[in-house]
Structure 1
Amino acid sequence: MLNYASLSGEEKIELYRSVLDAVENVGGIIDFVRLMKIARHDMNFQNQKDFCSVINELIKRGYIKLKIRRVKSDEKRVANRKFRMLIDVVRV
């Protein structure tokens, strides 16, 4: 498992790059559940908090923007049923 707190500066930068690539590969529109599945399984994060720290850091540095919005009728199959919200991931 990945422990975000114990990573060095260079390792964190490499991690940011891999998160950007993973998010970009999903195709821009992504829901909360899928974002967490990427974190857990594909990237081996220890917990959601670590993954959220990385996403927050990417936002702070201006690499990505997240726009949370209501689901359009043609996107319902993509969205998390509980939230009915989507995150648009925009790589800057």
Structure 2
Amino acid sequence: MTSEIKTVIEVCVGLHCSMKDSYAMLESIRKYYNLEIGVPSFDGMLLKEAECLHNCNNAVSILINGMEISNCSFNNIVKYIEAIHER
């Protein structure tokens, strides 16, 4: 049974973001929440790769439920996710 998706996390993996380690951020988020990319979790979280979010000056760009978070540390990303994700 698939749960309703409540939180969508999209990490930009375009050229500029990947040069600033977006794949490392993607992998850190994946490991921290024990997610599979593109597969909804049991509690409604979905992690996706975004080809380009067109915010190269502020790389790494991440969309969380459509809200752009740019150039943030992993800890700040987790704090934001924890604040909005309903379990």
Question: Could you say whether these structures have the same fold, taking a TM-score greater than 0.5 normalized by the shorter chain as the test?
Answer: no
- TM-score, normalised to structure 1, is 0.28
Higher radius of gyration, 1 or 2: 1
- TM-score, normalised to structure 2, is 0.29
Indicate the structure with greater helix content. Answer: 1
